[in-house]
Amino acid sequence: MAHQSAVAHTGDNYLNHSKGLMSWLTTLDHKRIGVMYLFSVLSFFLVGGVFALLIRLELYKSGVQIVDANAYNRFFTYHGAIMVFLVIIPSIPAALGNFILPIILGAKDVAFPRLNLLSYYIFMIGATFAVAALFLRGADTGWTFYTPYSIRTNTTVILVLTGAFIAGFSSILTGLNFIVTIHKLRAPGLSWSRLPLFCWALYATSIIQVLATPVLAITLLLLIMERLFHIGIFDPKLGGDPILFQHFFWFYSHPAVYIMILPAMGIISEVIPVFCRKPMFGYKAIAYSSFGIALIAFIVWGHHMFVSGQSELANFVFSLLTMFVAVPTGVKVFSWVGTMYKGSIHFYAPMLYVFGFLELFTIGGLTGVFLATLAIDVHLTQTYFVVAHFHYVMVGGTLMALMAGLHYWFPKMTGRMYPERPAQISFWLILIGFNVTFLPQFVLGAQGMPRRYWTYLPEFTFLNRMSTVGSWFIGLGFFYAAYYFYQGMRYGKKAGPNPWNALTLEWQTPSPPPHENFIETPVVTSWPYEYLPENITMQGNS
């Protein structure tokens, strides 16, 4: 975008605009709400991560290491529920999206700032319920709450259900807010065909949030009623249908997988052209394929139920439809690679994480096609192969992109650069640690080791031990990242408005941005990925 805002920096920014704790807790500024989301999500990431490390520690050897079977069931339930509902789903849209979306659109705020703050508090109330269960009798159903076990177990599953139910409304309100924001608050000249790909991705995500989450709400509500009043709709003892629960649950939770991955793809699409100094290849294809993915998301839920007693025909149709997901996903991956081709690639941390994403997400995506294949799925379902597959997608996809986005926008959010060298070391720790942890799990799964068990047969010991050691490297990498991010925030060198020499609007305003984002409303005159020979250089972070 050729627009150059008058950077008459007065020193006023969103961080120092008003002071004190109350000014944060009652803020309507999307940037501050984004930052509050970010810190909350990262805290929950720590909790979920500690449970992950404990799970791996228990599996270091067969037999009891640190906990017994019951405690282990609670551990993987917490790990799953916290990571899904409190970390990965809100991470990119609610935290980075809230901060970046209005600025990248050239707007002063989201369409409904009060609703935005409300959705943060709803999220925190939901999270409080879920975390409160930790201190009571816990929950041991897994994050999927399958009936009839979830009706009978005497753990405090109701608190976790209530927590997820409430947090869901926050997700709905964020989605609603973003859709209206993208429709109504684009800067003058920012036509749909010039819309940055992060916005396209968030738009598609928001549609899924708005359409799928209410179904989860009613499902969880029915399950809560099931536990409170034994209404029997999902309870076979009373004539209800437990498979109906699975249909309802996956009608939300499969699209939810795309709530997690689509915004991640949006970040990747922003980072690649900037760090390759090349116009985006296949802009329209990437934009539209997000909607292709969102559409298919709603018609593939049955692939979670191949062995649940669905009809053969349903299995066949769901299997076929699931494979179609690979098409728009492939369109994206090839467009990204096409953008890199003959580009001038700068290997700063955001770009490294993009490479991490491409490697891990491709493995995760392709193993998804294995699992979509009926005959193979019957062998692999409920094994560690599935665990490895979705960790490659969720961690390898979403978390890698989140890290890419955090490094990319860190200068914008804090006004300072993160230290580059520690970032690169941490990246390699995480990437290598991740592969050491999860590649063996593909093998374990193919050999038949079932998921969700607290112990295993002795012949699985070596690969499990490898997996556990890998998890320490991931942990180390993330702790190191927390440390150098803090260092960068305190002592990093001043970033200036546009250290990456990027063309999207958020870089055309001071870092950190002023209270109203821009000193004067920007006017957009060109496409955001027009990297021409004259602006091919990058100041970078050395």
Partner 1 sequence: MSNGETALKHHHAHHFASADDEFEASKQGMWIFLVTEVLMFGGLFVAYGILKGLYPEMVHEAHKLLAVKMGAINTVVLITSSLTMALAVSSTQKGQRDRAIVYLVMTFLFACCFLVVKYFEYSAKFHHGLLPGANFTNEELKDPKSALFFSLYFMMTGLHGIHVLIGMGVIAWVLRRTIRGEFGPNFYTPVELVGFYWHFVDLVWIYLFPLLYLVG
CA dihedral 427, 431, 436, 441 (to 10 degrees): 140
Residue 183 or residue 493: which is nearer to partner 1 going by CB?
183
Residue 240 or residue 475: which is nearer to partner 1 going by CB?
240
Chosen residue from 81, 95, 107, 272 binding partner 1 by CB under 8 A: 107
Here's the x/- map for partner 1, 59-98, by CB under 8 A: it reads as ----------------------------------------
Token code pair at residue 205: 């995500």
SS (H, E, C) 335-364: HHHHHHCCCCCCCCHHHHHHHHHHHHHHHH
User: CB of 260: closest distance to partner 1 in angstroms?
Assistant: 19
Chosen residue from 5, 27, 213, 339 binding partner 1 by CB under 8 A: 213
Residue 28 or residue 46: which is nearer to partner 1 going by CB?
28
Residue 31 or residue 407: which is nearer to partner 1 going by CB?
31
Could you tell me if residue 447 is left (phi over 0), alpha (psi between -120 and 50 degrees) or otherwise beta?
alpha
Here's the x/- map for partner 1, 500-539, by CB under 8 A: it reads as ----------------x-----------------------
The Cβ of residue 13 has, within 10 Å, a number of other Cβ atoms equal to: 17
CA dihedral 382, 384, 387, 390 (to 10 degrees): -100
User: CB of 482: closest distance to partner 1 in angstroms?
Assistant: 33
Q: How many residues bind partner 1 (CB under 8 A)?
A: 43
Token code pair at residue 72: 């282990």
Residue 77 or residue 181: which is nearer to partner 1 going by CB?
181
SS (H, E, C) 238-253: HCCCHHHHHHHHHHHH
Chosen residue from 158, 179, 371, 463 binding partner 1 by CB under 8 A: 179
Closest CA to 263 of 36, 147, 96: 96
Whether residue 279 has a cis bond before it, omega within 30° of 0? no
The verdict on 14 binding partner 1 (CB under 8 A) reads no
Q: Which residues lie below 8 Å from residue 54, measured CB to CB, with a gap of 6+?
A: 66, 67, 75
Could you tell me if residue 145 is left (phi over 0), alpha (psi between -120 and 50 degrees) or otherwise beta?
left
| Alpha carbon distance 348, 482 (integer Å) | 18
User: CB of 8: closest distance to partner 1 in angstroms?
Assistant: 20
User: CB of 59: closest distance to partner 1 in angstroms?
Assistant: 37
User: CB of 269: closest distance to partner 1 in angstroms?
Assistant: 25
Residue 231 or residue 466: which is nearer to partner 1 going by CB?
231
User: Which residues in this chain contact partner 1 in the complex, by CB under 8 A?
Assistant: 102, 107-113, 115, 172, 176-177, 179-180, 183-185, 210-215, 217-219, 221-222, 225-226, 229-233, 235, 238-241, 244, 248, 516
